Chain A
Amino acid sequence: MDKSLNWRETIITAVVKTCGYSAVVFVILIFFFLLREGLPALVEVKLGDLLTTRWYPIENHFGILPLLTGSLVVTAGAMLIAIPFGIGTAVFLSEIAPRWMREVLKPLVELLGGLPSVVLGFLGILLLSPFLRVFLDLPTGLTALAGALLLGGIAIPTTVSIAEDALDSVPQSYREGALAMGATKWQTIWRVTLPAARSGVLTALMLGIGRTIGETMAVMMVTGNAPVMAIKLTSIFSPVRTMTATIAAEMGEVANGSTHYHVLFLIGLVLFLISLAVNITASSVIFKSRKRAERVLS
């Protein structure tokens, strides 16, 4: 019996290990694939041409700056919406709402996260963009703002769900201690509970950003996809073209191995590097804050 148990242990350990390593292996393989397909673009198109402001691939204008700025504007807009709303909702669910309300609301918020983005895109085209056009008196409602609002909506459920879990796992004694010291409810939340749950909340925001920058379908449907440089303050109110939408719209028809094909992969590589940078920044912040806490405690 002992032997069969050992034998089973070995197999289970091996399977779990394989799962763990395969995630890393896949990421590395994808990275190398992107490098292999994307780097030839740097040879075929001069770097100076890539860093121009005209994207019109069928006539060999491969300036990726409009796409880069487009993605950044939409993502920044979405985070401006998702961070306050996401953390606010999480705080409300975990700290303020009565237990029964939390039991009802949290699954509902998570249900929202399960909505396919293409469905949100439909709502965006049919309801949101006409509303924005009339309400803000814009030439068209298909703007970066419409994309940012939808993406904010897509990022909020992820953010809320994870941030709420983090807040919920803060020991009750922290709150009791703060309240006993005479802190108000708000002071307890802002100075004690949120900082204590910081790493979980940061993870939530990071996953939210990840969801936002990689989102394609909803963005392609509502941002108008005009490759203009989004560098003015009013750019949020004008149409933009994101990197993801460009890849999705053009990859289907491009000739395998052509310059256009390689440039699209290069854009994919840039997207990958941006997500990587976001993740590394976030985890290094979490790592640093932990270290300081450990130092203080020791």
Chain B
Amino acid sequence: MKPALLIVVASILFLSACGGGSGQPASPTKVSAYIQNKGSDTIVNLALAWAERYQSEHPDISISVTGGGSGTGIAALINGTVDIANASRAMTADEIKQAKANGVTPVEFVISRDAIAVVVNPENSVRRLTLQQISDIYSGKINNWTGVGGEDRPIVRLSRETNSGTHVYFLQTVIRLGDSKNTTLFSTDTLLLPSSEGIINEVRQNPNAIGYDGLGYIPPDLTNSVIAVARDASGPYVVPSIATVNDNSYPVARDLYMYTAGEPSGAIKDYLNWILSPEAQTIVAKLGFVPVK
């Protein structure tokens, strides 16, 4: 259903771009370039926001954005049907080989980063956890805050719904510790809340709660109770921030990518340069992602 919606949104963008300056229908702007952008659902809102802004500044460029998932975008790039593929993971060696066999040399751009912050109620004394401890909490092995050095309170686990990309990323990177053979699941009594606001609100008022969300969704009153995360018990405990995400010290962060077929040129090159510009990167921060340096 979502891809269908995106196609509709994208076509509206396309049509409005074709229509040119809406104030002067008598002199339609000539579209000089047409960019196809497809892939990751995580990035799709960001990509749409960028496309919208860019087209309003450059009425002669038309950008069509669709979702479908990172794999879909990469497959389309390999087949030569898109100009830019969005991916919330790097291309695998296999995919790069396939692309080369098809005469396409993928070029990678890190267009933004995404950190997941783990947050507790300000009354909770726990401020640092290892990845293993967070995994044990969410899989149901640790059920009381005493298990991680806190007060004697039950742990209430909060998560986004299963359809959220953040949920899946958290499952793979934190609960399964990045091990693809690990089949640990969320404990069944994890509260699945339909919105970021639901998680923030429950963390704010419930001293038993632990939640996770994109760094951009953490409100100012909870920034002091964001958990510092360590890769293992010996490692440094790091609080997520734009700086710690960029120097790779915060472990629950990932790059978000765009791929082009070969070195970009012309309108595509201009668009990617603009995406890495400060103006486009402020949109990144607004949508809750971490801008690249």
> B-contacting residues of A (Cβ < 8 Å)?
53-59, 61, 66, 125-126, 130, 133, 139-142, 220-221, 224-228, 238-239, 241, 248-254, 256
In this complex, which of A53, A139, A227 has the most chain B Cβ atoms within 10 angstroms of its Cβ? A139
Q: Is the CB of B191 within 8 A of A252?
A: no
In this complex, which of A61, A224, A251, A254 has the most chain B Cβ atoms within 10 angstroms of its Cβ? A224
Give A250 to B240 CA distance when docked, in angstroms.
30
Q: Is the CB of B163 within 8 A of A254?
A: yes
Complex contacts, A256 vs chain B, CB 8 Å? 1, 4
Specify the chain A residue showing the minimal Cβ separation from B190: A226
In the assembled complex, B156 has its CB within 8 A of some CB on chain A:
yes
Q: Is the CB of B1 within 8 A of A141?
A: no
In the assembled complex, B7 has its CB within 8 A of some CB on chain A:
no
Say whether, besides A221-B198, A252-B2, A254-B1, A226 and B206 are in contact (CB < 8 Å): no
Give A251 to B209 CA distance when docked, in angstroms.
27
Q: Is the CB of A226 within 8 A of B189?
A: yes
> A-contacting residues of B (Cβ < 8 Å)?
1-2, 4, 153-156, 161-163, 168, 183, 185-186, 188-194, 198, 201-202, 205-206, 208-209
Given contacts A130-B206, A225-B161, A225-B193, 17 further A-B contacts (CB under 8 A): A54-B185, A56-B162, A59-B183, A126-B201, A140-B209, A221-B194, A224-B191, A224-B193, A225-B191, A225-B194, A226-B190, A228-B188, A238-B189, A239-B189, A241-B192, A253-B163, A256-B1
The 8 tightest CB contacts between A and B, nearest first, are A253-B163, A224-B191, A139-B154, A225-B192, A140-B156, A130-B205, A58-B162, A226-B189
Specify the chain A residue showing the minimal Cβ separation from B193: A225
Q: Is the CB of A250 within 8 A of B201?
A: no
The contact sample of 17 A-B pairs, CB cut-off 8 A, is A55-B188, A56-B186, A59-B183, A59-B185, A130-B205, A139-B208, A140-B191, A141-B206, A142-B191, A142-B202, A221-B194, A224-B193, A225-B191, A250-B163, A251-B1, A252-B2, A254-B1
Say whether, besides A139-B154, A139-B208, A142-B202, A250 and B190 are in contact (CB < 8 Å): no
Specify the chain A residue showing the minimal Cβ separation from B2: A253
Q: Is the CB of B163 within 8 A of A249?
A: yes
Complex contacts, B198 vs chain A, CB 8 Å? 125, 221
Give A9 to B183 CA distance when docked, in angstroms.
70
How many Cβ-Cβ contacts under 8 Å join chain A to chain B?
A: 79
Smallest beta-carbon distance A37→chain B, Å = 13
Smallest beta-carbon distance A231→chain B, Å = 13
Give A226 to B2 CA distance when docked, in angstroms.
24
Complex contacts, B183 vs chain A, CB 8 Å? 59
Contact with B191, one of A54, A55, A130, A226 (Cβ below 8 angstroms): A226
Complex contacts, B4 vs chain A, CB 8 Å? 256
Q: Is the CB of B161 within 8 A of A226?
A: no
Contact with B161, one of A66, A130, A250 (Cβ below 8 angstroms): A250
Give A220 to B198 CA distance when docked, in angstroms.
10
Specify the chain B residue showing the minimal Cβ separation from A227: B188
Q: Is the CB of A249 within 8 A of B192?
A: yes
Complex contacts, A56 vs chain B, CB 8 Å? 162, 185-186
Smallest beta-carbon distance B173→chain A, Å = 15
Specify the chain B residue showing the minimal Cβ separation from A251: B1
Give A283 to B238 CA distance when docked, in angstroms.
64
Smallest beta-carbon distance A97→chain B, Å = 38
Q: Is the CB of B168 within 8 A of A249?
A: no
Give A53 to B189 CA distance when docked, in angstroms.
12
Give A277 to B155 CA distance when docked, in angstroms.
39
Complex contacts, B193 vs chain A, CB 8 Å? 224-225
Give A252 to B190 CA distance when docked, in angstroms.
21
Say whether, besides A57-B162, A256-B1, A249 and B194 are in contact (CB < 8 Å): yes
